C-alpha cells in the first residue's frame, strides 16, 4: 500500500483527534491493558498543580518527563499507572481570591463571612481547575483520568481526618504554645519551609544595657527581654553567668538573668546578646534550655501589645522609632552602625516580613518514638530511608540537602489561621471550673503541657476524631491544616487509603501500586513536599512512598533569568503548542536538560525541535510513499543484505540497547540525543540516501522495520507525531500500547558495521577535501584510493562512494601506489585518497597544514590520557583498546599528511 503524505507535518490536524482516541480507548487505565497477573507495576502520582493559576513551563517539563516514563514502562508491558490531580493550595488560593475580591469589589473576606467567601473560592477554583486539566491534555499526558483526585475532595478529606486523628491519639500531634512564624498580612502561621529570606541593609543599634553594651537590629523587642546570653567560657562575662541584674528601660527597670549558651556567636557585637524568647526562634530555644520566662509584646497584627504601656497599638516600625527617641533621651543608646547586612524572613506567598510570636497551635512531634515504627520517630525513619538507599535521589547530590533538612527538623506547625483548606478535625466544649481549679499564668508557659486558660473560669473538653462528636455544645476548631499536610498523603490517599488498609494490610490499588516507583518534581520543594510525603507514608503505612525522587531544575529564559509575568519574559506553553505543536514543546523541555539543573529556554529552541519533527515526518513520508507497508513477519535473508543494510540494522540494535539503558537510569536527555543522532545522521543522511540507488529486494522490509522500531523508541518523547505516522502506515492497533523493541530480535552485524564506518569516513574525507578547496559541487573529479588491505571492501562499495555527494566521476581503487603530484590529498587511517584535476596548490597546502595541526593536538591528548595511570587502571579494557586504536590511526594519518605536504613544497 502506497500513499501520499503532506510535505510538512501540521500538528493541529492530528493532536486533538489523537488524544481523544487515546482517552476513549481506556488504555491510560492499566486495568484495561490485558496484562498477566505477574506484570510489574510502575506508578507515578502527578505532583498536583496549584489551582491558583494556569500551568507554566515548569509544569510542562514535569508532564513531559513523567509522560515519557509512563509511556516507556507501559510499552515494556508493565502495569503503568499515572494518577492525575490538582492541589487546593490553601493559603495561596485564599490569597488570590482575597486580592481579587479587594480589587474588584473593595471587600475583604470578613465582609463576606466564612461561608460566602468559601463559595467564591470554589467558584474560582472550578474555572482554573478546568483550564489546568485542558492544558494537561494538550501536552499529551497519558494520565488515568478515571482515578483523578483533588487534595480537598471527599476521599482526601476523609484520609486527612483519619490521619490527623490517628496521629493525635498516638501522641504525634499535640496542641501547644510555641514561637511560630506568623504572617501579619495572611494572619496565619507558616511552616519553617514556607518562609523565604531576603538580604537587607539596615542599622545595628548598640544599647547601654546595665553592665553590658549590646548590639541588636530590633530595639523594640527589648520590652520582651528576659535574659542576656553569652558564649560558654567567654572570659569577658564568665563571672556574670547565673547572676540576675536590674536593667534600666524605657518602661522602668526590669530583671534579666545571664545564661551561657552555645547558640551565641561570640564574634557578633560585644559577644553578649539580649534574649527575647517570645519573638526570636533562637532566643526561644535558649529560654527552653535555661527555663527562662517568655514575655510576648507584639501581637498577631504586628503591633505592640497592651503590656507595652505608651507604645501599645504602634506597629513595630513605629515603636522602634519612638523607643529609640526615648532611649536617646535617657542615655540608653550607645551608638548606631549603618549598613548592617542580614537576612530577614518573609512570607513565601505575600512577601510580608514574618513576625515570630508565641501562639497556641497544633504541631507534629518529629521526635516521638512510635511502637509501630519499631521504637523510632518519624524523623528517624525518614532519615533512615535516605541513608540506607530505600529512597534514591536523582541527582544524588540532593540526598545531602534532604538529610541536612531532616537532621535539623523541628516539630512541624500544621495549623493555619485561614478559611480555605482542610478544617482541623478537633472539637471543643467548655466546662465550668471552680475558682480553685483555674490555672493563672502571668507569663506565657514554656512547656507545651500547660494550658492558656488565664482565669477564664472555664476549661475545655477536647474531642479529636474522624466524625463530629455526638451531643450539644461542641464547636469545631476554626483553623485549617497546612496544605502540605494533605498533599503529604498524596501517594497513598489516591490509592484508596484508609479503606484499602485494614488491620495493617494493604488491599486493592494500595497493594498493587504502593510504594510508587518515582516521584518527579522540582528540586525547590524537597523540604516542602518530598519530606512531608515520606513522613506521612511512614506513619500511615510504615513504608516509603516512592523508590526514587527525580528532581528537575527551573526553566529560565534564554538569558538565564527566572521567568515572570512582571518581567514580560514568560512563555505560555499553550501558545507554543498552538504555534509549534506539543511534541516540539516536549522535546525542547526534555533535550539538553539534566536532572537537578536549571535550563535556559527560548522560542527558538522550540522552533528547532519543530524542524526536527518535520525531519522525522519526511523520513517516514519517503518510506511510506515509496515502499510497501504493513509487513507483519520480518525475515531478513542475510545473503541478500548489502553492507549498508547490515550497518543500519546493527546501529538499530545498538540504539535499542542504549536507549533502554539510559531510560532505566533516568538519563532521559541522553537517550533522546542518541535517538536524534540515529534519526538525522544514520537514517536520514546515510541509509535513506543509499536506498535511493541500492534497490535490492530487502530494502522495503528493512526500511519498514527500522521505521516501526524508531517510532516505538521515539513515542514516549513525542507521542503525537509518532502515533500520527503509525496511523498513516495503516496500523489499526495504537502505537501507545505496542510492545517496546527488543535488541535481541536483530541478528548481530557488528563486523559489517565497522566496515561501513570505514566507507563513511572515506566519503566524509572526500567531501571535506572538496569543500576546503572550494571545488564546485557540480564538478566531477577522478579519485584514486590506495586502500591497502581494505582494497576489496572499498572496491565493492564504489557505488556508494561515487553516489553520496562526493562528486566522483571516476574511481580507481588500488592496494597502494606512488604519490600523485598535483592532486588533492586526504587520508583515513592507512587509506590514502587522491582527487585529481582540481587542485589549488596554496589552498591545498593550507588545508594540509590545518589537518596536521589538528592531528598533532589529538595525538598529544590521547598520549596524555593513555599515560595517565589512573585512566589505564580504572577505564574498561574496551575503552583503553579503542583509545589505542584511535591513536594508531591518527599517527598513520599524520605521517601521510606530512609526506603529502612535502610533495607540495
Summarize pLDDT for 6-25 with one digit per residue, the tens: 899 999 999 999 999 999 99
Q: What is the DSSP letter of 172?
A: S
Q: What is the pLDDT of residue 468?
A: 93
Spatial distance between the Cα atoms of 73 and 788, rounded to a whole number of angstroms: 49
Report which secondary-structure segment, H or E, holds 380. helix 378-387
Concatenating the DSSP letter of every residue in 335-372 gives EEEEEEEEEEEEETTT-PBPEEEEEEEEEE-SS--BGG
Question: Residue 636: how many CB atoms within 10 A of its CB?
Answer: 16
Q: Are 606 and 580 in contact (CB under 8 A)?
A: yes
Strands 227-230 and 272-275: antiparallel
Q: What is the pLDDT of residue 568?
A: 67
Domain covering 602-748 assigned CATH 3.30.2290.10 in the classification: no
Provide Rg for the chain, Cα atoms. Answer: 36
Provide the b/e sequence for 829-844 (b: ≥16 CB within 10 Å): bbbbbbbeebbeeeeb
CA-nearest of 67, 61, 65 to 28 is 67
Spatial distance between the Cα atoms of 50 and 88, rounded to a whole number of angstroms: 6
- Residue 326, burial from CB neighbour count under 10 angstroms (0-12, 13-18, 19+): middle
Q: What is the pLDDT of residue 74?
A: 98
Q: Are 740 and 709 in contact (CB under 8 A)?
A: no
Quick check: bond before 2 cis, omega within 30? no
Q: What is the pLDDT of residue 538?
A: 98
Q: Which CATH code of 1.10.240.10, 3.40.47.10, 3.40.50.300, 3.90.740.10 fits the domain covering 181-360?
A: 3.90.740.10
Q: Which fold has domain 843-903?
A: Helix Hairpins (1.10.287)
**Three cell numbers, residue 171:** 501522641
Q: What is the pLDDT of residue 280?
A: 93
Helix and strand totals (H; E) in the chain: 28, 31
Q: Which residues of the chain have pLDDT under 50?
A: 1, 433-457
Could you tell me the strand order of the sheet in which 173-183 lies? 188-190, 173-183, 355-364, 412-413
- The three state secondary structure string of 828-844 is ECCEEEEEECCCCHHHH
Q: Are 715 and 67 in contact (CB under 8 A)?
A: no
Q: What is the pLDDT of residue 631?
A: 63
Spatial distance between the Cα atoms of 725 and 5, rounded to a whole number of angstroms: 10
pTM of the model: 0.83
Question: How is the chain split into domains, by residue range?
Answer: 181-360, 602-748, 754-839, 843-903
Q: Binding residue per annotation — 565?
A: yes
Concatenating the DSSP letter of every residue in 192-241 gives GGGEEEEEEEEEEEEEEETTEEEEES-GGGGGG--EEEE-TT-TTTTTTT
Q: Are 89 and 15 in contact (CB under 8 A)?
A: no
- Cα–Cα distance list, 862 to 527, 830, 852, 871, 878 (Å): 45, 19, 15, 11, 15
**Three cell numbers, residue 807:** 562528486
Spatial distance between the Cα atoms of 135 and 144, rounded to a whole number of angstroms: 15
Count of residues in the chain: 905
∠ at Cα 270 (264, 274), nearest 5°?
Answer: 55
CA-nearest of 149, 144, 148 to 67 is 144
User: Alpha helices, DSSP H only, in 108-153?
Assistant: 109-112, 114-138
Sequence-distant (≥ 6) Cβ neighbours of residue 291 within 8 angstroms = 446
Sequence-distant (≥ 6) Cβ neighbours of residue 95 within 8 angstroms = 186, 349, 350
- Cα–Cα distance list, 790 to 636, 642, 764, 808, 826 (Å): 27, 17, 17, 19, 16
Amino acid at each position: 500500500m502506497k500513499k501520499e503524505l503532506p510535505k510538512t507535518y501540521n500538528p493541529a490536524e492530528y493532536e486533538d483527534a489523537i488524544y481523544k482516541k487515546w482517552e476513549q480507548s481506556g488504555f491510560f487505565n492499566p486495568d484495561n491493558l490485558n496484562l498477566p497477573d505477574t506484570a510489574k507495576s510502575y506508578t507515578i502520582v502527578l505532583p498536583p498543580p496549584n489551582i491558583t493559576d494556569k500551568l507554566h513551563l515548569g509544569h510542562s517539563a514535569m508532564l513531559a518527563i513523567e509522560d515519557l516514563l509512563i509511556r516507556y514502562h507501559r510499552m515494556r508491558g508493565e502495569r503503568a499507572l499515572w494518577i492525575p490531580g490538582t492541589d487546593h493550595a490553601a493559603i495561596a488560593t485564599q490569597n488570590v481570591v482575597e486580592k481579587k475580591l479587594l480589587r474588584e469589589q473593595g471587600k475583604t473576606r470578613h465582609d463576606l463571612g466564612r461561608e460566602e467567601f468559601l463559595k467564591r473560592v470554589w467558584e474560582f477554583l472550578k474555572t482554573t481547575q478546568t483550564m489546568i486539566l485542558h492544558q494537561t491534555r494538550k501536552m499529551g499526558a497519558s494520565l488515568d483520568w478515571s482515578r483523578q483526585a483533588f487534595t480537598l475532595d471527599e476521599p482526601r478529606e476523609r484520609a486527612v481526618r483519619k490521619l490527623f486523628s490517628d496521629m493525635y491519639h498516638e501522641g504525634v500531634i499535640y496542641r501547644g504554645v510555641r514561637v511560630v512564624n506568623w504572617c501579619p498580612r495572611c494572619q496565619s502561621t507558616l511552616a519553617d519551609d514556607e518562609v523565604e529570606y531576603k538580604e537587607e541593609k539596615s542599622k545595628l543599634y548598640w544599647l547601654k544595657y546595665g553592665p553590658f553594651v549590646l548590639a541588636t537590629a530590633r530595639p523594640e523587642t527589648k520590652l520582651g527581654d528576659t535574659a542576656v546570653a553569652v558564649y560558654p567560657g567567654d572570659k569577658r562575662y564568665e563571672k556574670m553567668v547565673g547572676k540576675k541584674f536590674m536593667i534600666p528601660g524605657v518602661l522602668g527597670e526590669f530583671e534579666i538573668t545571664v545564661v551561657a549558651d552555645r547558640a551565641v556567636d561570640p564574634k557578633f557585637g560585644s559577644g553578649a546578646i539580649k534574649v527575647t524568647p517570645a519573638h526570636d526562634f533562637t532566643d526561644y530555644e535558649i529560654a527552653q534550655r535555661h527555663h527562662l520566662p517568655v514575655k510576648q509584646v507584639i501581637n498577631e497584627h504586628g503591633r505592640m501589645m497592651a503590656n507595652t504601656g505608651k507604645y501599645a497599638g504602634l506597629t513595630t516600625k513605629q515603636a522602634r522609632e519612638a523607643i529609640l527617641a526615648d532611649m536617646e533621651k535617657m542615655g540608653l543608646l550607645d551608638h548606631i552602625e549603618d549598613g548592617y547586612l542580614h537576612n530577614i524572613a518573609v512570607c513565601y506567598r505575600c512577601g510580608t516580613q514574618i513576625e515570630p510570636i508565641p501562639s497556641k497551635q497544633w504541631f507534629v512531634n518529629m521526635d516521638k518514638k512510635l511502637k509501630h515504627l519499631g521504637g523510632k520517630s518519624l524523623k528517624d525513619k525518614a532519615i533512615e530511608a535516605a541513608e540506607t538507599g530505600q529512597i534514591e535521589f536523582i541527582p544524588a547530590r540532593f540526598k545531602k540537602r534532604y538529610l541536612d533538612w531532616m537532621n535539623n527538623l523541628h516539630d512541624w506547625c500544621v495549623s493555619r489561621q485561614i478559611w480555605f483548606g482542610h478544617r482541623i478535625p478537633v472539637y471543643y466544649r467548655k466546662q465550668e471550673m471552680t475558682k480553685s481549679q483555674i490555672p493563672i499564668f502571668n507569663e506565657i508557659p514554656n512547656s507545651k503541657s500547660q494550658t492558656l486558660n488565664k482565669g477564664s473560669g472555664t476549661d475545655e473538653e477536647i474531642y479529636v476524631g474522624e466524625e463530629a462528636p455526638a451531643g450539644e455544645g461542641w464547636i469545631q476548631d476554626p483553623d485549617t491544616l497546612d496544605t502540605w499536610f494533605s498533599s503529604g498523603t498524596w501517594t497513598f490517599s489516591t490509592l484508596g487509603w484508609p479503606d484499602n488498609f485494614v488491620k495493617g494490610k494493604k488491599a486493592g490499588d494500595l497493594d498493587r501500586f504502593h510504594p510508587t516507583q518515582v516521584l518527579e518534581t522540582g528540586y525547590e520543594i524537597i523540604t516542602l513536599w518530598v519530606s512531608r510525603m515520606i513522613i506521612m507514608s511512614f506513619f500511615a503505612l510504615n513504608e516509603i512512598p516512592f523508590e526514587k525522587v527525580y528532581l528537575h531544575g527551573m526553566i529560565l529564559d534564554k538569558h538565564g533569568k527566572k521567568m515572570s509575568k512582571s518581567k514580560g519574559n514568560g512563555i505560555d506553553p499553550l501558545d507554543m503548542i498552538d504555534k509549534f505543536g506539543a511534541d516540539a514543546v516536549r522535546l525542547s523541555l526534555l533535550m539538553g536538560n539534566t536532572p537537578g539543573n536549571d535550563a535556559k529556554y527560548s522560542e527558538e529552541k522550540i522552533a528547532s525541535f519543530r524542524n526536527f519533527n518535520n525531519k522525522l515526518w519526511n523520513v517516514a513520508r519517503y518510506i511510506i510513499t515509496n515502499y510497501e507497508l504493513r509487513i507483519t513477519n520480518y525475515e531478513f535473508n542475510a545473503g541478500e543484505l548489502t553492507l549498508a543494510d547490515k550497518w543500519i540494522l546493527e546501529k538499530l540494535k545498538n540504539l535499542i540497547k542504549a536507549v533502554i539503558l539510559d531510560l532505566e537510569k533516568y538519563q532521559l536527555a541522553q537517550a533522546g540525543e542518541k535517538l536524534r543522532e540515529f534519526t538525522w545522521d544514520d537514517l536520514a543522511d546515510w541509509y535513506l540516501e543509499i536506498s535511493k540507488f541500492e534497490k535490492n529486494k530487502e530494502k522495503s522490509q528493512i526500511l519498514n522495520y527500522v521505521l516501526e522500531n524508531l517510532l516505538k523508541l521515539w513515542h514516549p518523547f513525542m507521542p503525537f507525531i509518532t502515533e500520527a505516522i503509525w496511523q498513516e502506515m495503516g496500523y489499526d492497533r495504537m502505537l501507545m500500547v505496542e510492545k517496546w523493541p527488543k535488541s535481541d530480535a536483530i541478528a548481530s552485524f557488528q563486523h559489517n558495521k565497522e566496515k561501513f564506518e570505514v566507507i563513511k569516513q572515506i566519503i566524509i574525507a572526500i567531501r571535506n577535501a572538496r569543500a576546503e578547496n572550494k571545488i564546485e559541487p557540480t564538478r566531477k573529479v577522478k579519485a584514486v584510493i590506495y586502500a591497502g588491505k581494505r582494497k576489496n571492501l572499498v572496491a565493492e562499495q564504489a557505488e556508494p562512494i561515487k553516489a553520496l555527494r562526493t562528486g566522483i566521476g571516476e574511481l580507481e581503487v588500488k592496494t597502494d601506489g606512488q604519490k600523485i603530484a598535483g592532486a588533492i590529498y586526504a587520508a583515513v587511517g592507512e587509506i590514502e585518497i587522491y582527487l585529481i584535476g582540481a587542485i589549488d596548490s596554496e589552498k591545498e597546502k593550507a588545508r594540509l597544514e590545518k589537518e596536521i595541526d589538528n592531528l598533532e593536538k589529538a595525538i598529544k591528548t590521547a598520549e596524555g590520557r593513555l599515560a595517565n595511570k589512573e585512566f589505564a587502571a580504572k577505564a574498561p579494557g574496551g575503552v583503553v583498546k579503542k583509545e589505542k586504536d584511535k591513536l594508531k590511526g591518527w599517527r598513520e594519518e599524520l605521517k601521510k599528511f606530512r609526506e603529502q605536504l612535502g610533495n607540495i613544497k
